[in-house]
Amino acid sequence: MLKTCLAVLLLAVSAADPAHSEDQALAKLFAEQGLEGCVVISSVRTGRTFVHNDARANRRLPAASTFKILNTLIALQERAIAGKDDTLHWDGQIRDVPDWNRDQTLASAFKVSCVWCYQDLARRVGADAYRRYLRQTEYGELRESFGLTEFWLDGSLRISAAEQVEFLRKLVRRSLPFDGFAYDTLREIMLAEQTPDYALWAKTGWAARVDPQVGWYVGYVESRGEVWLFALNIDLRGKDDLALRPKLARAALAAKGIID
């Protein structure tokens, strides 16, 4: 009798644990595109979670430019930059992305994912401050030793999709070690889409120094009185797949009835 009760209890726990349930609707979206990847979607209010590819969702991959979410908070908190309209002066060096070849503000640097801008901010912040904030926020894993202006680009900083979602949960709840000004500024510059029905805050990432390359899209959505967190990553077959990051994330949110 005791064995039977224990077996029933274990089955109930397993059924209630979304991390062990493959979501078929989400899996279909990836299969239709022929993509290897994962997505995690989770409600802030209820904790209800949908997952495609649980094993990958718990695998740490290079954070790439998704780190700009936390990096922006750090830069603001450390007063490495005054605010969203403060100027970052271009050094005149021509880079591959045309949008980078001009003076930037923090807002524009976030929008165009300007690498040199955040490298400039990193020099102002310093390695010790990064170590402290990464430890306090429990953001992935930073491998020592690391290059101050390269660690989020070269694979020294890695994070899983599941960890991205838990970081975003703390961000939305404002339980991270940052002041209101930092949170408010990030929220303003991170807004990616707003409709009468929902608002979406997000950041792309492109880990180009690994094989296969990895594309990220992470963020959160306010819709129908709820806040939903999401983190998606895919193996990139080429530059054409970059556009699939937000496209696939939006399709996943729509498949779960979060956005239209």
Catalytic status, residue 43 = no
Distance CA 260, CA 256 (A): 10
Distance CA 141, CA 160 (A): 9
Q: In what order do the strands lie in the sheet with 49-52?
A: 49-52, 37-43, 226-236, 213-223, 198-207, 191-194
Pick left, alpha or beta for residue 34 (phi over 0 → left; psi -120 to 50 → alpha; otherwise beta). left
Which of the residues 65, 108, 113, 223 is marked catalytic? Answer: 65
Q: With b meaning 16 or more CB within 10 Å and e meaning fewer, what string describes 216-238?
A: bbbbbbbbeeebbbbbbbbbbee
Residues with a catalytic annotation lie at 65
